Amino acid sequence: MKTSNVNPSSSAAAGAPLFVSSETAAAVFQWLPAVRVLQETYARAFGPHAVPRRTIAAGAAERASLRTMTAVPPGSRYYGAKLMGMAFGQEGRQLEYVVVLFDATTGSLAAILDGNLVTAYRTAATSAAALDHLAPQGGARLAVLGSGLEARMHTLAIAAVRELQEIRVYSPTPAKRAAFADGIGAELGVHVRVFDSAAEAVGGADIVLAAARSYGEKPILQGAWLEPHATVVSIGSTLPDQREVDSSVVARAELIVCDNVEEVLEESGDMLAARQAGIEPDRKCFSLNDLMCGKVKRTNGEGGVAMYKSVGSGLQDVVVAGMILDLARSAGLATPLPIQFEPKRIG
């Protein structure tokens, strides 16, 4: 890599890579377009190597790790990767995300994006994309287990595809759940009720969002609490040592849609625990591609519990980051980088 002394305007004209900050991403992001572009992408045919499994490199002595998630989404203008670096320093653990996009028509570096908000946006938008095909049409009562960033993002995303008649909130800290309820209620103009237990919040809900892994990795959602027609969205158990939903939820689900079936079955603590409990989730787990293509549908009309289980995917990062990049470029908010890469010509 070599630096360039050209000014930003001439750099942009020469096709220099762009940088998109989280502040810019927040300024241009739109929920429904993100949901739709994900649905369109997941409805296309996938090659066997389009979305490889994530890789994790770790150094014990260095107390550092690097997670890499790559994708070449079918039909997309961009391909690329998200990198997540984590290290333990004097002030504790720190994470940083970056999404790197390449132009599929030229192979040139197109942009670098701060991946923090992109990660939250893509997770919630993909959940809403799945929910839009799983949950019955019409108004819905949403139970939210959690009060952090993912809980807020998912509530906003779900509100983009369903009319929420009521939001029912539980999280372990009373002050946090009250603040979440006040904020999300004002933002969406929806009646919000706060509960002192997860069971009370879930009872009577059409859609249940599990977005708060408990302390000690104990499940926060039990199958017995769910209404017979409930649709569950679970996003918090992405590694073998993490738990979010009880095995009874997996047992009750007639259909489980996964953003990455292999990783959900082999790396999610919830599914590993269900298998240890004698439940075989494999036979009822299907991919988002199957759902979007119409190969699988909710089999029992509006009855029977369905679940969307997410571990995250580089495809989601690339697709949503690409949408954000295009919006930022159109708004004049993407920052040209004063650098050029020397390409290697082959053939």
- Same domain, yes or no, for 293 and 324? no
- Same domain, yes or no, for 223 and 287? yes
Quote the number of domains for the chain. 2
Task: Give CA–CA dist 261/46, Å, rounded.
Answer: 14
pTM: 0.91
Residue 222's contacts (CB-CB under 8 Å, 6 or more residues apart) are 199, 246, 248, 249
Indicate whether 156 belongs to any domain: yes
- Same domain, yes or no, for 99 and 58? yes
CATH number, domain containing residue 224:
3.40.50.720
Task: Give CA–CA dist 281/268, Å, rounded.
Answer: 12
- Same domain, yes or no, for 329 and 299? no
Phi, psi of 102 (to 5 degrees): -110, 150
The pLDDT assigned to 299 comes to 67
Torsion of CA 98, 322, 116, 25, to 10 degrees: 130
C-alpha 116, offset from chain centre: 12
Q: What is the SS3 assignment for the chain?
A: CEECCCCHHHHHHCCCCEEECHHHHHHHCCHHHHHHHHHHHHCCCCCCCCCCCCEEEEECCCCEEEEEEEECCCCCCEEEEEEEEEEEECCEEEEEEEEEEEECCCCCEEEEEEHHHHHHHHHHHHHHHHHHHHCCCCCEEEEEECCCHHHHHHHHHHHHHCCEEEEEEECCCHHHHHHHHHHHHHHHCCCEEECCCHHHHHCCCCEEEECCCCHHHCCCECHHHCCCCCEEEECCCCCCCCCCECHHHHHHEEEEEECCHHHHHHHCHHHHHHHHCCCCHHHHEEEHHHHHHCCCCCCCCCCCEEEEECCCCHHHHHHHHHHHHHHHHHCCCCEECCEECCCCCCC
Please give the residue range of the domain that contains residue 286.
136-311
pLDDT in single tens digits along all 347 residues of the chain: 333 333 333 334 347 999 999 999 999 999 999 999 999 999 999 999 999 999 999 987 778 999 999 999 999 999 999 999 999 877 778 889 999 999 999 999 999 999 999 999 999 999 999 999 999 999 999 999 999 999 999 999 999 999 999 999 999 999 999 999 999 999 999 999 999 999 999 999 999 999 986 556 789 999 999 999 999 999 988 888 888 999 999 999 999 999 999 999 998 999 999 999 999 999 999 999 999 999 998 865 455 899 999 999 999 999 999 999 999 999 999 999 999 888 888 87
Hey, what are 148's tokens? Answer: 């952090």
Indicate whether 291 belongs to any domain: yes
- CB 8 within 8 Å of CB 336: yes
Indicate whether 126 belongs to any domain: no
- Same domain, yes or no, for 288 and 148? yes
CATH number, domain containing residue 7:
3.30.1780.10
Task: Give CA–CA dist 81/78, Å, rounded.
Answer: 10
- Same domain, yes or no, for 174 and 298? yes
Indicate whether 345 belongs to any domain: no
Indicate whether 347 belongs to any domain: no
- Same domain, yes or no, for 307 and 334? no
Nearest to 94 by CA among 102, 104, 84, 103: 84
- Same domain, yes or no, for 256 and 182? yes
The type of residue at 219 is P
- Same domain, yes or no, for 47 and 108? yes
Nearest to 149 by CA among 56, 212, 205: 212
Torsion of CA 203, 205, 209, 215, to 10 degrees: -10
Indicate whether 19 belongs to any domain: yes
- Same domain, yes or no, for 166 and 302? yes
- Same domain, yes or no, for 68 and 162? no
- Same domain, yes or no, for 291 and 332? no
Indicate whether 214 belongs to any domain: yes
- CB 227 within 8 Å of CB 205: yes
Indicate whether 34 belongs to any domain: yes
Task: Tell me the sheet residues that pair with 56.
Answer: 67
Taken in order 189, 191, 195, 201, the sign of the CA dihedral is negative
Count of CA atoms in the C-beta half-sphere (13 A) of 193: 17
The pLDDT assigned to 302 comes to 52
